[in-house]
Amino acid sequence: MPREKIGWLIPGLIIVILPLSTLRLFRKGDVLSSQAPLAASDGRRIVLDFNTPTPTPTPSPTPTPTDTPTPTSTPSPTPTPVPITSQQLDAWFTQYANHFSVDRSLLWRIAVCETGLRPNATNGIYAGMFQFSANTWKTNRLRMNVDPNADLRFNPEESIRTAAFLLSTRGPGAWPNCSLRK
């Protein structure tokens, strides 16, 4: 074998065989170049590059800014007036007072005292002929196993029905300002 430098390239592995005399050129602590010139057997000069290429980082996607929705206030429902006659009111007071076994005249007096029999009356959180809060309405309507929609407080028949139920279960104390008046 001639005393020239010989090298083989195997994919993923580089083997370089150098004559022993070459090893004496290097001393402990010498820094080798990242490139090494070699002479091929046909006389061509080959430069081996020992630098490991640094992978190019994959750019991470930049989030697209989106508009933050601005909350809008939900309008409170406007009660729809329900045309009623005095005969209808009289019939509902009688029907539900009898059904729930309560004093019809007391039920009537509470409605007159609270709102003057006006089904669309409101006062703060209270609404309807008997001035129910939405929470009291929902609680009692669920106990009655009927629709708990608070907008029904403005329906005169449903308001009378619920008031008669509440009067039968809690007594007149549910309307302390009106139930004791004669």
Q: What is the pLDDT of residues 147-171, one digit of tens each?
A: 999 999 999 999 999 999 999 999 9
Q: Please report whether residue 63 resides in a domain.
A: no
Q: Please report whether residue 56 resides in a domain.
A: no
Domain count, the chain: 2
Q: Residue 150 class from Cβ within 10 Å (0-12 exposed, 13-18 middle, 19+ buried)? A: middle
- 42 & 118 share domain: no
Predicted TM-score (pTM) above 0.75? no
Per 3-state DSSP, the chain is made up of helix, strand and coil in percentages (nearest 5) of 35, 15, 50
Answer for the pair 4, 41: CB distance below 8 angstroms, yes or no: yes
pLDDT tens per residue across span 128-138 = 999 999 999 99
- 43 & 91 share domain: no
List Cα–Cα distances, 127 to 72, 114, 133, 149, 178, in angstroms: 24, 10, 6, 13, 15
Dist. CA 182–CA 179, nearest whole Å:
8
- 166 & 108 share domain: yes
Look up the domain containing 111 and give its range: 86-174
Q: Please report whether residue 9 resides in a domain.
A: yes
